[in-house]
Chains A and B, each alone.
Chain A
Amino acid sequence: MVSLEELKKYIDFLSTTDIEELEVVSPEGEKIMLKRSEVLSDVLSLKQKKDTQTQTKIESVKPEQQVEEKKEFVISSPMVGKFLLSTSKDHPPFIVVGAQVKQGQKIAIIETMRIFRDVISPKNGVVKKILVEDGQFVEYSQPLVVLELNEE
């Protein structure tokens, strides 16, 4: 007669393997058939898949997170007119690529019919790209400068 303790041992053993069926024969000739439940086997195999997935997920998260941290912001033109990067040829430009810009800082001027309008940055960030050339005519809400926002 197979004892409960022995049976538990066999069941435990079965659960650690891929074996679907196990026939146990006692010295007395008693046969016990242990069959892995289909549901259980599905669950076990899923768990194995999940474990491998989690592993790869951990690997890929890091670089993505790094990109997400750097959000971009586009400053667009408040007016139709000529885009000017400095007040005159003798003056240095308001911004260059790589410059740190503060919220409220003047980054350019748009000129139309002798009317000059300041282009103000609404965010803190670093100038990633200047999309238009000094002296180029721009239309209303045309993208001018791409900022890489500073982390909050």
Chain B
Amino acid sequence: MIKKLLIANRGEIAVRIIRAAKELGIKTVAIYSEADKDCLHTILADEKICIGPATASESYLSIPNIISACEATGADAVHPGYGFLAENTYFAEVCEACGITFVGPTKENIQKMGDKIEAKKIAKKAGVPIVPGIEEPIDNPDDPELNKEIKKIGFPLIIKAALGGGGKGMRIVHSFDTFKISLLTAMEESKKAFGSDKVYIEKYIEEPKHVEVQVLADKKGNVVAFPERDCSVQRRHQKLIEESPCPIVDERTRRHLARAAVKLCEEIEYISAGTVEFIMDKKGNFYFMEMNTRIQVEHPVTEMVSLIKKKKGLDLIKEQILIASGEKIGFSTDDISIAGHAIECRINAEDPDKDFIPSPGKIEELILPGGNGVRVDTHIYQGYTIPTFYDSLIAKLIVVGSNRNEAIKKMLRALDEFKITGIKTTIPFHKKVLQTQAFIEGDVSTNFLQKYIYEQV
């Protein structure tokens, strides 16, 4: 069993991991940059060590500094959280070389799923449905064969960066006339953002839902898939609201989604927690998009809504730590059932009235919501100053109700209680979204904000 875990992250996820480790009786080490001297994770951990200046590249992204911190504190394992080095193949490799247990997938898992084009090929091989498209990266934009192939796919189609996401290097093409120029600009943007102009092309599914499946796999070959999450409410490809289960998925589709996710994990011998992302059309047909080889921000949604026979509760971070220590997963996919409906709102320190501009600063007054079926994962406290150097997520508010309508009402009640002064937050924005008729009816696809919210502004 792991004895001392170093958390190579900060903020709410570092707090989350420290809590899980403590409950398992494992000692914890928090790393922090100079800007995070007062961050909650440094207060909760058993030990803390300053690993660099505020800039992420010299602290949270500095592999030598983090490995050195492991050596200095005697940590025998590292949990990378999400973001930062969580999907950095080299970091996983260095940990292995230094005899430090990496709480996450293998470096091969990360590498294979890191390249979006390769990932699609592997998914196809595993029998997972993929979006019709061109499987090879575009080498020659002037290739005449290319024009033939894109006409076969049909319009609209989408150009995506192979090595990245978040909307960069992405272009939707509606007709043949604009194809060439869209391709060239997408390639250039991808080069600038990810260091590679490798792009791929696929059919564009209009008003799709973003549906994903949480998986867990141990070192003994057991794979488990959980009920799907619907993460369609996004702004610029960043998720804002997630829920489980997906309102339009029936039992049959749920089983197919789970089976597809498991097949992919078995194909690459995946280990630890991960998420298989699909794109779903209005008819419920789903296609593989990509796999995230890390624990995700929205993992609490699955924890809140999953009921496991014999075990009852679910703690995905604890499961990760146990898996990393060589333990077997103590349940199967069949043991999992859905207990109600869960929703998560990502609360960011941003001003929704000013195009979501970041709003760092000191939290003057803080009142956290609570009560039956309400969970808050956060690192903020009254008097805490949010630094300017990192992302703006300050809290995750998750609720679970016996059905979707109850969950929405509960979320609105909790959002009403949630008081933060001194900075601007997206709390009012979430209240607006949850009271939109379209959201209540479940008419939510990835263009939800443009369709229903921005029009009203």
Residues on A facing B (Cβ under 8 Å) = 79-82, 112-113, 115, 137-142
In the assembled complex, which residues on chain B have CB atoms less than 8 Å from the CB atom of A112?
Answer: 64-65, 67-68, 71
Partner of B34, one of A79, A115, A141: A141
| B49 on the A face (CB < 8 A) | yes
In the assembled complex, which residues on chain A have CB atoms less than 8 Å from the CB atom of B64?
Answer: 79-81, 112-113, 115
| B50 on the A face (CB < 8 A) | yes
Docked-complex contact A142 and B50, CB < 8 angstroms: yes
How far does the alpha carbon of A79 sit from the alpha carbon of B65 in the complex, in Å? Answer: 7
User: What residue in chain A is nearest B49 (Cβ atoms)?
Assistant: A139
In the assembled complex, which residues on chain A have CB atoms less than 8 Å from the CB atom of B33?
Answer: 140
> Which residues in window 36-80 of B have CB below 8 A to A?
49-53, 59, 63-65, 67-69, 71-73
Partner of B68, one of A113, A141, A142: A113
User: What residue in chain B is nearest A112 (Cβ atoms)?
Assistant: B68
Give me 19 A-to-B residue pairs in the complex whose CB atoms sit less than 8 angstroms apart, sorted by A's number.
Answer: A79-B52, A80-B49, A80-B51, A80-B65, A80-B69, A81-B68, A112-B65, A112-B67, A112-B71, A113-B67, A137-B68, A137-B73, A139-B49, A139-B50, A139-B51, A139-B72, A140-B33, A140-B59, A141-B50
User: What residue in chain A is nearest B34 (Cβ atoms)?
Assistant: A141
In the assembled complex, which residues on chain A have CB atoms less than 8 Å from the CB atom of B52?
Answer: 79-80, 140
In the assembled complex, which residues on chain A have CB atoms less than 8 Å from the CB atom of B63?
Answer: 113
How far does the alpha carbon of A80 sit from the alpha carbon of B33 in the complex, in Å? Answer: 11
Q: A112-B64, A113-B64, A113-B67 are in contact. Are A80 and B72 (CB under 8 A)?
A: yes
Docked-complex contact B72 and A140, CB < 8 angstroms: no
Measured between C-beta atoms, what is the minimum distance from B7 to chain A in Å?
A: 15
In the assembled complex, which residues on chain A have CB atoms less than 8 Å from the CB atom of B68?
Answer: 79-82, 112-113, 137
In the assembled complex, which residues on chain B have CB atoms less than 8 Å from the CB atom of A82?
Answer: 68, 71
Measured between C-beta atoms, what is the minimum distance from A39 to chain B in Å?
A: 53
Measured between C-beta atoms, what is the minimum distance from B12 to chain A in Å?
A: 23
Docked-complex contact B34 and A137, CB < 8 angstroms: no
Q: Which of B50, B53, B63, B68 has the most CB of A within 10 A?
A: B68
User: What residue in chain B is nearest A115 (Cβ atoms)?
Assistant: B64
Measured between C-beta atoms, what is the minimum distance from B47 to chain A in Å?
A: 11
Docked-complex contact B51 and A137, CB < 8 angstroms: no
Docked-complex contact B50 and A137, CB < 8 angstroms: no
User: What residue in chain B is nearest A138 (Cβ atoms)?
Assistant: B72
How far does the alpha carbon of A113 sit from the alpha carbon of B94 in the complex, in Å? Answer: 10
Partner of A140, one of B50, B71, B73: B50
Measured between C-beta atoms, what is the minimum distance from B272 to chain A in Å?
A: 24
User: What residue in chain A is nearest B51 (Cβ atoms)?
Assistant: A80
How far does the alpha carbon of A7 sit from the alpha carbon of B64 in the complex, in Å? Answer: 93
Pairs A-B, 5 closest by C-beta atoms: A137-B72, A112-B68, A139-B50, A80-B68, A80-B65
How far does the alpha carbon of A112 sit from the alpha carbon of B51 in the complex, in Å? Answer: 12
Measured between C-beta atoms, what is the minimum distance from A123 to chain B in Å?
A: 21
Q: Which of A82, A113, A137 has the most CB of B within 10 A?
A: A113
